[in-house]
Every structure is written in C-alpha cells, then in structure tokens.
Amino acid sequence: MRSFSTLSSLAHLAPLTVIAAVLAGCPEQDDVSTSTSATESSATMGDPDGDPSTSSPSTSTTDPEEPTSTSTTTADSDPTTTGGPPDTVTGSPTDATTSENTSSSTTEFTATAGSTTSDEPECGNGMLDPGEECDKGDKNADGDYGGCNLDCTQQPFCGDGETQSELGEDCDLSDEELVEAAICTDVCTWSGVIAFVTSESYTGDLGGTDAADEECVLLATAAGLVHPDGYRAWISVGSDNPSAGIPKVNDAYYRLDGKKIAANSQELFGGKLKNPLNITETMEQIGTSKVWTNTTPTGLTASDDADCQSFSSLDGKQTGIVGRTDQTDAGWTQHPVQASCLHACRLYCFSNAF
C-alpha cells in the first residue's frame, strides 16, 4: 500500500514537473509563440473569416519587416478587399493616367518658362532692356541729337538735365541748377524775360545807371542765375531808360518763382502787372519796399529833376521817384510818394539776354 501511495503521488507531480521544465528551458521560444499567437488572434478578430489581406493597422505595425503588411497594397490585390468602391483603390489605372498627364503638363510649362527668361537682351529689338538707355529699333543711329546710338546709349537731348549750348540749347528743363526753368521751352530755348527785385538796398548815390546795371549783374552772378551779364536795372536818367534797354518781346515776363508779371511787353509797358515784382534773386519774397526807378509805367523817364542828380547824390534835400514792391498798378514803378536820396531803396532787374 505504501508503494502504491508513493507511485500515486509521483504520478500527480510528474505533469507539473514536466511543464516547469519546459517553461524553464525554452523561454525565448515561448515568447515568440505567444507574440505570434497574439498577432494571429488580432488578425482573425479584424476579419471574422480570417482573411489576412484585411489585416487591421495594428497588424502591420506589430512587425515593420512583415511581408504580409506590404502585400495588401500591391496592384494585384482584389479591389473589393479594401472595403471601398473600385475607383478609390490606390494605384488604379485612372489615377496613374492622371498622374502621368499632370507630370507631363508641369514639365512642358517649366520648359516654356525657362526658354522665355533665358533670352539675352538684344540692342536694336525696339524694347528697353536692362542696361540700355534707349532702344528705337531700326531707328537707332549714331550722332543724331536726341536720338539713340547703335549701342543703345542716349544722345544728348532736351530735358537730359544739361544745357548743350554747342548743340543749340539755351537752357534745359531738367537742369537742377536752372532757376529760370519756368521760361525754358520744351525745345530748350528761352521764351520770355526774367525779372527780380534786388535783395540789397542802395542810397541815391548809385553812381548812375551803368552802376545800377552792374549791381544787377553782380547779384545775378552771386545767385548763380543763367546769363547773369544780361541783366539791366529798371531805372531812368535822361534818354537812358527801360523802354530802350529792356527787351520788348511777345512772350511772358516772369519772376524767379515762375509766376508771370506780364503776358507780353504790351502788358508790361501798359501800367498793370499780373503779380507784384517782389521776388529777389535769391528767391526770397519781400513785403512792402521802395525801389529806385524814375520811370513811368510805359518805361520812359519820369523826371529830369527827381533822380538824385542822375542817381549820384547823397543830398538829403533831394528826392527821387520810386516804385513799390507791393503794387501791381502804376505804383509798382511810379509811386506818388518820392524818397529822400539818403534813403536806401532796392532796384528792379530785368534780363535782356534772351
């Protein structure tokens, strides 16, 4: 009985001992088997029929090296296994054709754009390309004033900012140093007469009309005006008067700020101005100021006595006829109130160079 009991006990313990031995001896194989079983179980749960082609995303991520995960996306796969309509299957012939056409169109567009932008600028094509000053096509010619050279450089022209007197220009509209641009025409010739009132004042002892003219020249020169030697004073002594010395033209007379004082000589010598002559050679606008003139509105000598002895006297008992810078009627040149020869007055200066 004891032997039977012992054998019986060993019989009950034997399976447990075998199982323990197996588990202790092959742990890695058990892990692989367990993982594989879990994978197969997961795949089976994704499709009740157990079709591995419909494996869930979790199956493909379990082992990136698993060939099964890539086989589901091959072109030979049955479209019906994706669960969507046939026209949505990845890699279908329709999508392949569309992709090929799109790629071809993009390539053609790129090639066309590249050929357009790669063209080199060509002098003489009639278009202003980078680096060219001008391009008149087959009209390009060397040596023509205002034209375009054969190498697409610009010939001197009216409005280029420089006065080319050797080419017949009297002035230039774009000359930054040209104060008198208001009367420079679009063909770079003068049209009109310029006038200013002096920034300086003088007593009646001017030294005569010649000395008055010289003051106009000196101030015009200092101000950088064009042709300063052509300025003359609006002042009269005997037969020497503006009517004889100031040019009479059928063009406008201007202040240095570009405003007209008269439309033509008839208006200037007619006794009424459009604007007062109150802008100096330095472009300063002044208020009321007296100006030595002894001149009538018609440009003639006003008096043989009221001229500070031909503008060469400091005698305080003598007077001279003056104009006023705030006047536009006859008073601009012949004001009723005269000034003592000791008084300091300005001068009107007109250019006769144009």
* pLDDT grade for 350, boundaries at 50, 70 and 90: very high
Q: Which amino acid is at 172?
A: D
* pLDDT grade for 42, boundaries at 50, 70 and 90: very low
- The span from the CA of 211 to the CA of 292, in Å, is 13
- Closest by CA to 58, choosing from 85, 79, 77, 40, is 40
Question: Stretch 42-52: mean pLDDT, rounded?
Answer: 41
- The span from the CA of 250 to the CA of 265, in Å, is 6
Q: What is the model's pLDDT at position 353? A: 57
Q: Is residue 279 a contact partner of residue 196, using CB atoms and an 8 Å limit?
A: yes
Give pLDDT tens digits for 76-124.
444 444 444 444 334 444 444 444 444 444 444 333 444 444 466 789 8
> What residue segments make up the domains of the chain, in order of their start?
192-351
> What are the phi and psi torsion angles at 291 (to 5°)?
-135, 130
Question: Stretch 224-237: mean pLDDT, rounded?
Answer: 90
Q: What is the model's pLDDT at position 24? A: 46
Q: Is residue 202 a contact partner of residue 220, using CB atoms and an 8 Å limit?
A: no
Question: Stretch 32-46: mean pLDDT, rounded?
Answer: 39
Q: What is the model's pLDDT at position 33? A: 38
Q: Which CATH number fits domain 192-351: 3.10.100.10, 3.40.50.2300, 3.20.20.150, 3.30.70.240?
A: 3.10.100.10
Question: Stretch 65-77: mean pLDDT, rounded?
Answer: 41
**pLDDT > 60? residue 218:** yes
Q: Higher model confidence: residue 64 or residue 257?
A: 257
Q: What is the model's pLDDT at position 222? A: 95
pTM for the whole thing? 0.54
pLDDT winner (highest mean) among 189-193, 251-255, 342-346: 342-346
**pLDDT > 70? residue 279:** yes
